[in-house]
Amino acid sequence: MESLRRLLPSATSLIIFEAAGRHENFTRAAEELGMSQAAVSYAMRTLEDQLGVPLFRRVHRAVELTDVGERFHADVSAGLTRIQKSAEEIRAKGREVNVTLAASTAFASMWMLPRLAQLRADLPDIDLRIQTSVRDLDLDEEPIPLGVRGGDPATWPRYHAALLAPEVVNAVASPAFVEQHGFPETPQALTRHRLIRLEEPVREACDWPQWFQSAGISYQPQSHGLAINDYVLVIQAVLSGEGIALGWEHLTERQTRSGLLVPVGNHVLRTGQAFYVVWPRSRELNAHARRVRDWLLEQGSGG
């Protein structure tokens, strides 16, 4: 770097050279940079003297890059572009007070919303933005720092993953449904009731045949059942007394504790999968995103 400093004492000359070479006109470069045309011309002559070669051919009211100038301009432009992008990212990280979290609608509605008051109390200076989607977003492509997804982290090599909650699935009904139809005490007893199915459009999700199979029962979906492709609506249908649905424990635990939902069937499936907070390996989390990540994990383990 010391030899480079002797060769090119002024980084400003490279910025001026990039503009002059891009416009091939010292006057327009001067207007862009807020300088005089004479100052640009002087800076370019000084740079040529330092390098010992002409970078421009002076023609009437314009300039043209020489062959050497074109090669040097391509390298300078690429380098300055990378430096500018890096500086902008660093400055943006320092100024950001908002953090975006990508998650399913079910997680946003049933896990995050009941905890927003606690989030505001614990992290009052952070503006959390929740972006929902029917599929897991590519956090590298979207510039989103954090996401929540379920599955196996080994299949997400581009992401860091921290455990939020294990996947635990039981069957749930409303108190009104139980009062009207009786309490199903075994998995086999559930087959005599109306079962609401989640038809997940993109993400893989446990279904009734899988749940019954884990209880040792072979089950075929009912022709008179109810199928819904949104889990929030599935739970709304259960609360309205329309039938029994699978309940993911981390999403339904508060409604179960409050008595709005009742576990039925006396069987719990632990799939061995889990839900994770994820973030890309390709970039570091800023301080605000790290605080949100840590808060999510604390809530997941104890909230």
User: Does residue 150 sit in the same domain as residue 242?
Assistant: yes
pLDDT digits 0-9 by tens, 204-217 = 899 999 999 999 99
> In which domain, by residue range, is 283 found?
97-303
CB of 18 closer than 8 Å to CB of 76: yes
pLDDT digits 0-9 by tens, 274-291 = 999 999 999 899 999 999
For residue 131, give the CATH number of its domain. Answer: 3.40.190.290
CA neighbor of 50 nearest in space, from 2, 5, 15, 1: 5
Comparison of pLDDT for 179 and 8, the residue scoring more: 179
User: Does residue 218 sit in the same domain as residue 284?
Assistant: yes
Return d(Cα 232, Cα 302) in angstroms, integer.
23
Check residue 302 and give its pLDDT: 45
User: Does residue 218 sit in the same domain as residue 105?
Assistant: yes
CA neighbor of 273 nearest in space, from 200, 185, 165, 139: 165
Comparison of pLDDT for 155 and 11, the residue scoring more: 155
Check residue 62 and give its pLDDT: 81
User: Does residue 211 sit in the same domain as residue 195?
Assistant: yes
Check residue 303 and give its pLDDT: 47
Q: Would the pLDDT of 270 be above 50?
A: yes
Domain boundary among 95, 128, 147: 95
pLDDT digits 0-9 by tens, 144-155 = 999 999 999 999
User: Does residue 89 sit in the same domain as residue 130?
Assistant: no
Q: Tell me what the mean pLDDT of segment 110-123 comes to.
A: 95
128-159 as b/e, with b when 16 or more CB fall inside 10 Å?
A: bebeeeeebbebeeeebbbbbbbbeeeebeeb
Q: How do beta strands 98-103 and 146-151 pair?
A: parallel
Show the tokens assigned to 206: 């446990």
User: Does residue 138 sit in the same domain as residue 220?
Assistant: yes
User: Does residue 176 sit in the same domain as residue 222?
Assistant: yes
Percentage with pLDDT > 70 across the chain: 93
User: Does residue 179 sit in the same domain as residue 88?
Assistant: no
pTM for the predicted model, two decimal places: 0.67
User: Does residue 114 sit in the same domain as residue 198?
Assistant: yes
Instruction: Tell me the range of 33-42, 72-81, 261-270 where mean pLDDT is highest.
Output: 261-270
Check residue 234 and give its pLDDT: 96
CB of 106 closer than 8 Å to CB of 251: yes
Helix (H, G, I), strand (E, B) or coil at 157: coil
Number of folded domains that form the chain: 2
